[in-house]
């Protein structure tokens, strides 16, 4: 049975007029773009006026993952635009002036140049990372960047394989030893690949299914984390 789209309102955390979510990592291929578009869709369904800035657009190496995804999409509420990470402040101001509630910035893998500037302008930085020793080790540079900014940031475990829950717990502990890790995981699921191909988010592709719930939980975990840090 196919469920209707879940449009249950998703509020911004208290005291935020708009929220800038920066997707970044010191390693490529961790799932930044997948999460950028899926969180964007889920937030948009939840009533947040959302824009995704794709900054992975430089020269021959630019993946333009969000831009390519948007081309397969029918026009709707969610807006996707190219932007330069070096001039992301201007893009954020434009989005503010145009009434966007949630501004998601997708960045290139290993793109550390300019990331500090973007981190300082963001409300939160999300670093997807897999439960694996190499991925854990590869977060060291991004954690060093976090340590020189006031902006809260966390790891979100992604591409988690369901059969290996004890392993996942093990990696949550290993990541937590080194810094913040959100209590919301994203599974490795075919629906993320198939939704992407159709220019959809999982919340549209399989409403009410596990991916949809994961995206809602991840947004809630991000917003809860910024509130926790405000209090601390």
Ligand X SMILES: Nc1ncnc2c1ncn2[C@@H]1O[C@H](COP(=O)(O)OP(=O)(O)OP(=O)(O)O)[C@@H](O)[C@H]1O
Residues of the shown chain interacting with ligand X in the complex, contacts defined by CB under 6 A = 28-34, 56, 63, 65, 108-109, 158-159, 186, 188-189, 192-193
Report whether 53 contacts 78 (CB < 8 A).
no
Residue nearer to ligand X on the CB measure, 67 or 101? 67
In the complex, the smallest distance separating the C-beta of residue 2 from ligand X, rounded to whole angstroms, is 21
Question: Which residues does 165 contact at the CB level (< 8 Å), separation at least 6?
Answer: none
Report whether 77 contacts 42 (CB < 8 A).
no
Report whether 5 contacts 45 (CB < 8 A).
yes
198, 203, 208, 214: CA torsion to nearest 10 = 120
In the complex, the smallest distance separating the C-beta of residue 69 from Mg ion, rounded to whole angstroms, is 10
In the complex, the smallest distance separating the C-beta of residue 230 from ligand X, rounded to whole angstroms, is 28
In the complex, the smallest distance separating the C-beta of residue 158 from ligand X, rounded to whole angstroms, is 5
x/- map, 107-126, Mg ion, by CB under 5 A: --------------------
Please measure the distance between the N-terminal and C-terminal CA atoms of the chain and give it in whole angstroms: 44
Name which position in 42, 44, 65, 191 contacts Mg ion (CB under 5 A). 65
Question: Which residues does 73 contact at the CB level (< 8 Å), separation at least 6?
Answer: 80, 199, 200
Regarding 33 and contact with Mg ion (CB under 5 A), the answer is: yes
Residue nearer to Mg ion on the CB measure, 61 or 178? 61
Residue nearer to ligand X on the CB measure, 154 or 158? 158
29 binds, among ligand X, Mg ion, none (CB under 5 to 8 A by kind): ligand X
Total chain residues near Mg ion (CB under 5 A): 4
Residue 29: CB atoms within 10 Å: 15
113, 58, 215, 100: CA torsion to nearest 10 = 90
In the complex, the smallest distance separating the C-beta of residue 128 from Mg ion, rounded to whole angstroms, is 10
Regarding 129 and contact with Mg ion (CB under 5 A), the answer is: no
Residue nearer to ligand X on the CB measure, 101 or 104? 104
The alpha carbon of 37 is separated from its chain's Cα centroid by a whole number of angstroms, namely: 8
Residue nearer to Mg ion on the CB measure, 65 or 129? 65
203 binds, among Mg ion, ligand X, none (CB under 5 to 8 A by kind): none
User: In 3D, which of 231, 55, 43, 230 has the Cα closest to residue 152?
Assistant: 230
- Chain residue at closest Cβ approach to ligand X: 109
């Amino acid at each position: 049975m196919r469920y209707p789209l879940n449009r249950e309102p998703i509020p911004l955390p208290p005291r935020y007029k708009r929220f800038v979510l920066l997707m970044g990592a010191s390693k490529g291929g961790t799932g930044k773009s997948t999460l950028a578009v899926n969180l964007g869709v889920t937030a948009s369904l939840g009533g947040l006026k959302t824009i995704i800035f794709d900054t992975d657009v430089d020269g021959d190496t630019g993946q333009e993952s969000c831009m390519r995804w948007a081309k397969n999409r029918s026009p709707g509420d969610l807006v996707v635009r190219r932007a330069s990470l070096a001039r992301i402040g201007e893009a954020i101001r434009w989005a503010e002036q145009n009434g966007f509630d949630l501004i998601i910035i997708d960045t290139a893998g290993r793109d550390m140049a300019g990331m500090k500037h973007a981190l300082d302008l963001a409300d939160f930085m999300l670093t997807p990372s897999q439960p694996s020793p190499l991925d854990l080790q590869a977060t060291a540079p991004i954690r060093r960047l976090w340590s020189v900014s006031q902006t809260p940031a966390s790891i979100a475990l992604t591409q988690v394989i369901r059969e290996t829950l004890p392993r996942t717990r093990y990696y949550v502990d290993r990541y937590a030893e080194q810094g913040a890790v959100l209590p919301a995981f994203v599974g490795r699921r075919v629906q993320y690949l198939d939704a992407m191909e159709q220019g959809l988010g999982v919340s549209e592709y399989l409403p009410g299914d596990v991916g949809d719930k994961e995206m809602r939980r991840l947004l809630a975990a991000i917003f809860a984390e910024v509130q926790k840090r405000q209090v601390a």
